[in-house]
Structure 1
């Protein structure tokens, strides 16, 4: 007789409660997940191999650099890629400065061009404007004397009446005035807006030289100043032919070197040659000067001898170091 069969037992199911029989491989995974949950997110994406992604790191670095330039704080969520940001603020400022510099340069150039145009326009207007025309009533002539014909001078300088002063040729006017007898020098200046200032330097005659029936009045350079029928009072007469230039020039040099007090006492001058000049004073004293060299020393010697020997009728200073009186 067989024994009765034993009933089969059903395998016991795992209870849902905590167990201590978890596998060793699953336990570290749960610990890693819990540790990740506790740590704050740094926004660094991890590649499958456990190293940060190079592309994502580059984009996040650019984002942080842009934020640093603008003064903001870059916040990149974990696991999210940020597109690269390129700041153009510096380039915009440089472009603005360049544009302003170019603008100022053009303004400066335009100002110079306008100023030059105004100056040229004013000059052109002045050259042809009747507002600056010469008026005869505004012409002033000074320095004329009895040996300079002032009317002849005015006729020359007033001839271009109506011509604007900027276009007036004062050089030509000066040359015409210098051609007049008795004029040694002349200065012509514009007297704005309508006049001229004419300043004459006349020639001063120092001797009267016979010229036929008249006397030629000559200055110290031998230039004829005027012609008179007789010598003016106080002007000595030189008995030297006009064609004997050397003797005449020596006599004129002696007269020009005399001081005013002594020159006023000379009545007559003669010169047979250029080295034999003689003068006759109003008291009858004859002074033999010789040539026209060493005239300052000769003049001083004559003055000294006339003071020391007032009775001398002849004074010879042709050799001033060895003067002779008689």
Structure 2
């Protein structure tokens, strides 16, 4: 048995019942106080919710009021701007009219009716909107004196600027036109009057000259243009002068920049010797006349003269002054083959259709006109080549399809 066991085995004191009064004593509160506290808490929560609701309602009302005030202010601003724009346009038209009429620009303010109408349309729900509307109304209703006019002065300034711009544009156009005229005149002087492109006679190239061409006369024609600006050299007139030079049948003149010319000549080749006393030769200027023979080409133009007929050229005998007969004879000689032409010694004709010639071996040929000369030349060659007719003294080929020999 342990010590103190009697205390352990002693019975525990009986538990006392807990009552409301006991609980109240421990907690310090009674049911009545708790009910009051709950009621108080409930009332506080209700007051809080009511305050929050009132706050939200007030905020909503304030927001709506602010939005309404903003819209009202915006509307008032737009209306004020519209009125100002109309007033400015009216002032501008008035100023422009006065400027055109020659009077001083007048400044006008906004009419009382417009200010009253504008003021009546601007609600003032808030103090800010009312202040803005009042400021706009004060600005619009302020009297405008002529010395402070901005619109009319702006219009006058714009008109003056336009006038200055027009004057500047006119001056620029005049300067451009004057510059263009000066440039054209300068180029014209450089090309047609200055020595920059002057012809130098030493730089003229002449080709195609033959022994029958009078080169001294060709050089004289070229020297007459020495020093003339190349653009002013008339190549057509120069060619015409060269064609008059004895022995020149054709000429071509081209410019060789910057100072030269190229002259290509076609010399006349003599095909016959005509007695000068026949008076049928187109004598070139400067060709002496006498009792000798004129050397002519196929066109009948004299390209030279000789006291005796040159060897290899046939002598042509035609009536005096009959240039058409001479032309017919020269036409026949031009169509003869070279080997047959070399055998012709003399040619005679009394008319254009009675051409006949004597060969160097003494045989005579009746040729007739210059028609079918190629066929006649072929028939004559065949007859002279045939053994039976090779030595005949006379050949008549005036009708080439029926030649006559003997």
Asked if these proteins are the same fold (TM beyond 0.5), I'd say yes
- Aligned partner of 2:400 in structure 1 is 320
Taking a change above 3 Å as real, the CA distance of residues 125 and 38 of structure 1, as seen in their structure-2 partners, is closer
Deviation at residue 35 of structure 1 after TM alignment:
4.0
For 1:41 and 1:312, how far apart are their aligned partners in 2? Answer: 145
Judged with a 3 Å threshold, the aligned counterparts in structure 2 of structure 1 residues 133 and 36 are, in CA distance, closer, same or farther, namely: same
Identify the residue that residue 339 of structure 2 maps to in structure 1: 261
Q: Check the 8 A contact 1:209/1:241 in 2, yes or no.
A: no
Who is 1:36 aligned against? 61
TM-score (norm 1): 0.64
Alpha-carbon separation, structure 2, partners of 1:189 and 1:252: 32
Deviations 1:213-233 (A, max 9, x none): 311112222222222111222
Unaligned runs of 5+ in 2: 1-42, 45-53, 83-125, 137-164, 278-290
Give the stretch that moved more between structures: 124-133 or 302-311.
302-311
- State whether structure 2 residue 356 is matched by structure 1 residue 282: no
Does the residue aligned with 2:370 lie in a helix, a strand or coil?
coil
Gaps of 5+ in 1: 1-16, 19-28, 62-77, 84-98
1:151 aligns with: 216
Q: RMSD between aligned alpha carbons?
A: 4.1
Structure 1 residue matching 2:380: 3-state secondary structure = helix
Q: Choose from 188, 198, 203 the match for 2:268.
A: 203
1:34/1:60 CA distance change after superposition, 3 Å? farther
Quote the residue 1:174 is aligned against. 239
CA offsets per residue over residues 156-183 of structure 1, 9 Å max, x none?
2113433333333444433332222222
Shift, 1:205, TM fit:
1.6
Residue 142 (1) aligns with residue 207 (2): yes
323 and 59 in structure 1: CA distance in 2 versus 1, 3 angstrom threshold: farther
| Correspondence 1:47-196 to 2 at 5 A | 110=176, 117-118=182-183, 120-196=185-261
Question: Cα distance 1:130–1:42, how it changes in 2: closer, same or farther (>3 A)?
Answer: same
Query: What is the CA deviation profile of residues 288-307 of structure 1, one whole-angstrom value per residue up to 9, with x for unaligned ones?
Result: 22111222333333344444
SS class of match (1:225): strand
For 2:78 and 2:67, locate their aligned partners in 1 and report how far apart those are by CA, in whole Å: 12
1:265, 1:168 → 2: CA distance?
48
- The one of 293, 301, 320 equivalent to 2:371 is 293
Conserved? CA contact 1:44–1:57, under 8 Å: no
The 2-side partners of 1:120 and 1:40 are apart by 83
Which of 290, 315, 319 aligns to 1:237? It is 315
Larger Cα Rg: Structure 1 or Structure 2? 2
Q: Which has the higher strand share?
A: 1
> 2:251 & 2:391 partners in 1: Cα distance?
45
Q: How far did residue 133 of structure 1 move?
A: 3.2
1:251 matched to 2:339? The reply is no
Deviates more, 1:175-184 or 1:262-271: 175-184
Deviation of residue 275 (structure 1)? Answer: 0.8
CA separation in 2, counterparts of 1:134 and 1:34? 106
Conserved? CA contact 2:213–2:267, under 8 Å: yes
> For this pair of structures, how many residues does the alignment match?
260
Query: Residues 135 and 45 from structure 1, CA distance in 2 versus in 1: closer, same or farther, beyond 3 angstroms?
Result: closer
Distance 1:189 1:158 in 2: 16
Question: Are residues 1:217 and 2:242 paired?
Answer: no
Tell whether the 8 Å contact from 1:139 to 1:158 is kept in structure 2 after alignment.
no
Greater CA drift, 148-157 or 176-185: 176-185
Contact 1:178 1:185 in 2 (8 A): yes
Q: Answer yes or no: is the 8 Å Cα contact 2:268–2:303 preserved in 1.
A: yes
